[in-house]
Amino acid sequence: MSYALDIKVLASLEPIAAFGAARLRELLDYCHTENIARGTDPFKAHGLAGQSVYLVRGEIELIYQDGNRVVVNAHSEWAKHPLGKRQPNIVGATALVDSQLLRIDDDLLDRMVTWDQFSSHDLAGISHGPSASEPAPDADVNKRLPTASLFSAENLKSGPFAHLPTANIGELLQRIEAIAVWADDVIIREGDEGDYYYLIDTGRAQVTRRVDGVERVLADLKAGDVFGEEALISEAKRNATVTMQSNGVLLRLGRQDFLALLQEPLLRKVGYVQAQKSVAEGAVWLDVRHPPEYRYDRLPGAVSVPLNDIRNAIGVLDKDKKYIAYCQSGRRSAAAAFILAQAGYDVQILDGGLWSVSAAEQ
């Protein structure tokens, strides 16, 4: 029997449970469900590599490389977390009843968790811009940074932000500017120098180009769409004109900031074996994930400082100690380490995060 997937199912999973309702609905478009018949191997057709796989219906038996057998029920605490991430390798599995798996691309989910966890602190209390049907806001709009379209799943998957080094997220949120625009405003003009990268937070725009003396429509843009990056990267002239079709709010980033933030900052990475030696000599593991993740599979002796609280930890963490930050992949820990390093802390990153550390190594 097949079951419809809804946000209630997603809201029971970790670390997805930290998402708001709008983010959960967005994530639904990137989830894939797989029905598993009783008595079959749930991972025979599709393995676990590169995906976060959750058991959302039924019950399966897992056989691990070390010989242990574990029965996982969809209602158990175990099933709230991705299967096979930090346990010994799964060498066999059987569905004990008709079951259902949920699969999400590891890389996309990790990016979404990182941006959400980071921005929940930086953007707390900041209001969104008005809808396109409302009058354009006043000049104070640039003091408010709308968030939803800024790090939509689509932008994190294939837009310029997909290539933004995680450590630079904080700088991006500080430097990006929200501006009010009116219908018929020309935002960029064909032939001009590239000056800004834009993202539409609210409103609609149209892209046109003059061909043989005639203005031709190339595309219609909506909230969440981006434009202007090509001229910044290639240092070429603008090759099209973008005109607002309604009142709205744009987010923009200056050319120098755009190029600077695409550069990877210098961060100190360390492998697990060397990190263990440092911890034995007095260094402290710093777990920057959400508390439920920390409780589920923290490293021995680790201190929990979620990424969204990392700035609050400045002045509380001991500057005489050395810290090794970790998360699942290394993304969230990179963002945390960059902030702490700027504040004068001696901090390194567990290279590759927990996903690079097998249970055997521990």
- Of 327, 334, 337, 354, the active-site residue reads 327
CATH of 7-105 given 2.70.150.10, 3.40.50.150, 2.102.10.10, 2.60.120.10: 2.60.120.10
CB atoms within 10 A of CB 135: 9
Closest CA to 97 of 75, 128, 65: 75
**How many whole angstroms from its chain centre is CA 146?**
17
Residue 158 carries which DSSP code?
H
The pair of structure tokens assigned to 113 is: 């968790």
Provide the CATH number for the domain formed by 123-261 in this structure.
2.60.120.10
Task: Return the SS3 of 159.
Answer: coil
Band of pLDDT at residue 49, cut at 50, 70 and 90: confident
- What is the per-residue pLDDT for 56? 94
φ/ψ bin of 295: left (φ > 0), alpha (ψ from -120 to 50), beta (otherwise)? alpha
What residue type is assigned to position 164 of the chain? L
15: preceding bond cis by omega (within 30 degrees): yes
Same fold, 7-105 and 269-356: no
Of residues 5 and 289, more confidently modeled: 289
Under the banding of pLDDT at 50, 70 and 90, the label for residue 359 is low
Closest CA to 316 of 332, 330, 302, 305: 305
Choose between 177 and 358: higher pLDDT. 177
Question: Does residue 76 register a pLDDT over 60?
Answer: yes
pLDDT of residue 159: 65
pLDDT number for residue 139: 43
Query: Predicted confidence band at 243 (pLDDT cuts at 50, 70, 90)?
Result: very high
Of the pLDDT bands very low, low, confident and very high (cuts 50, 70, 90), residue 187 is: very high
Decide if 129 contacts 248 (C-beta within 8 A): yes
Query: Would you state the CATH architecture of domain 269-356?
Result: 3-Layer(aba) Sandwich (3.40)
Find which of 52-61, 232-241, 330-339 is predicted with most confidence, using mean pLDDT. 52-61
Cα–Cα dist 205/246, whole Å? 7
Q: Where do the domains of the chain lie?
A: 7-105, 123-261, 269-356
291 pLDDT higher than 90: yes
**Is position 327 annotated as part of the catalytic site?**
yes
Q: How far apart are CA 165 and CA 148, in angstroms?
A: 20
Instruction: Report the C-alpha gap between 188 and 333 in whole angstroms.
Output: 37
The reply to whether the predicted model has a pTM over 0.85 is no
Which parts of 152-273 are beta strand (E)? 177-181, 186-188, 196-202, 205-211, 214-221, 226-227, 241-244, 248-254, 269-270
